[in-house]
């Protein structure tokens, strides 16, 4: 079978957790021929992902870094380009949340969400672009359904993801005719440890939507890298509801209580399955 990414140089951020979207994406890219650098803070976690990819016959390397500073973003792109002799693919996947009502969350935590989820991908995209332009490369930004509908209890997260979507849509216009593809992937809830951190503060509404697997999201990311579509929402139905709720806040308020009841039941079942 032809491999879609043979000989390509790829960078995936936020790929240190074996059950995360970034690791699933790195595995799939490597299985299809890409040489992949995985980046995040946890060096041991990254090495475990790299080891698994190499044992499966793939080519991968790790860069341990905290992407909340401009210097770290600059160093990551420079080191990846050097190690892999160029860059064809950037997947901006690293992300964090600081859940809870705004006045109950530390101000510095709100700022960190914007720094990691919005400023870092903006910087990494800008720094990667000269390399991607010369090789007709591709970028995927991992946003969220929270960037399609404002989620109370996740205000900074929603702001970071809608910001990332609009940065990308604007940049797409600028890049028209250059051959560089740039897309947004906006998942609903995904079965990773991300959604289980601080579960008491995950809005019940989030669990009202069908849960995707990290592998399904990774498949969507790879599809976007190939066809360069503007945005892929996973699952599509979730996005339709989110956009309707965002455009018509009164509709959202009318249907939210029943969705929250359904979400609360699904959340309890999910936490029980995960032993939480």
Ligand X SMILES: NC(=O)c1ccc[n+]([C@@H]2O[C@H](COP(=O)([O-])OP(=O)(O)OC[C@H]3O[C@@H](n4cnc5c(N)ncnc54)[C@H](OP(=O)(O)O)[C@@H]3O)[C@@H](O)[C@H]2O)c1
Q: Whole-angstrom Cα distance, residue 39 to residue 37?
A: 7
DSSP E strand stretches across the chain: 9-13, 35-40, 59-64, 89-92, 138-142, 181-187, 231-234
Cβ proximity to ligand X: between 93 and 183 the closer is 93
For residues 226 and 178, is the Cβ–Cβ distance under 8 A?
Answer: no
Helix axes 70-84, 120-134, angle to 10 degrees: 30
Min separation Cβ 119 and ligand X, Å: 11
Cβ proximity to ligand X: between 178 and 197 the closer is 197
| Residue ranges binding ligand X (CB under 6 A) | 14-17, 20-22, 40-42, 45, 66-68, 93-96, 116, 142, 144, 187, 189-190, 192-195
Cβ proximity to ligand X: between 12 and 129 the closer is 12
* φ, ψ of residue 6 in degrees (nearest 5): -55, 125
Residue nearest to ligand X (CB): 95
* φ, ψ of residue 163 in degrees (nearest 5): -65, -45
Min separation Cβ 177 and ligand X, Å: 29
Q: Which of 5, 157, 167, 207 is catalytic?
A: 157
100 classed as catalytic: no
Cβ proximity to ligand X: between 132 and 146 the closer is 146
DSSP one-letter code for 201: G
- The answer to whether the Cα torsion of 67, 43, 220, 227 is positive or negative is positive
Closest CA to 116 of 144, 151, 157, 86: 157
Min separation Cβ 230 and ligand X, Å: 17
Min separation Cβ 143 and ligand X, Å: 7
The residues annotated with a catalytic role in the active site are 157
């Amino acid at each position: 079978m032809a491999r879609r990414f043979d000989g390509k140089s790829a960078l995936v951020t936020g790929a240190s957790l074996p059950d995360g979207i970034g690791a699933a994406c790195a595995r799939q890219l490597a299985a299809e021929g890409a040489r992949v650098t995985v980046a995040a803070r946890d060096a041991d976690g990254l090495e475990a992902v790299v080891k698994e990819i190499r044992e499966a016959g793939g080519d991968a390397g790790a860069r341990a870094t905290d992407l909340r500073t401009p210097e770290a973003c600059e160093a990551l792109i420079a080191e990846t380009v050097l190690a892999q002799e160029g860059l064809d693919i950037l997947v901006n996947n690293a992300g964090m949340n600081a859940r809870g009502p705004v006045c109950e969350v530390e101000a510095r935590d709100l700022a960190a969400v914007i720094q990691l989820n919005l400023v870092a991908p903006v910087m990494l995209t800008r720094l990667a672009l000269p390399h991607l332009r010369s090789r007709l490369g591709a970028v995927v930004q991992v946003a969220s359904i929270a960037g399609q509908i404002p989620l109370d209890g996740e205000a900074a997260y929603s702001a970071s993801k809608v910001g990332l979507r609009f940065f990308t849509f604007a940049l797409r216009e600028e890049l028209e005719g250059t051959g560089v593809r740039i897309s947004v992937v906006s998942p609903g809830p995904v079965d990773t440890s991300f959604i289980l951190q601080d579960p008491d503060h995950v809005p019940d509404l989030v669990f009202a939507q069908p849960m995707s697997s990290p592998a399904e999201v990774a498949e969507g990311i790879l599809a976007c890298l190939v066809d360069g579509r503007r945005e892929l929402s996973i699952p599509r139905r979730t996005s339709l509801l989110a956009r309707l709720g965002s455009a018509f806040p009164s509709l959202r308020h009318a249907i939210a209580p029943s969705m929250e009841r359904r979400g609360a039941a699904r959340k309890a079942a999910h936490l029980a399955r995960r032993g939480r």
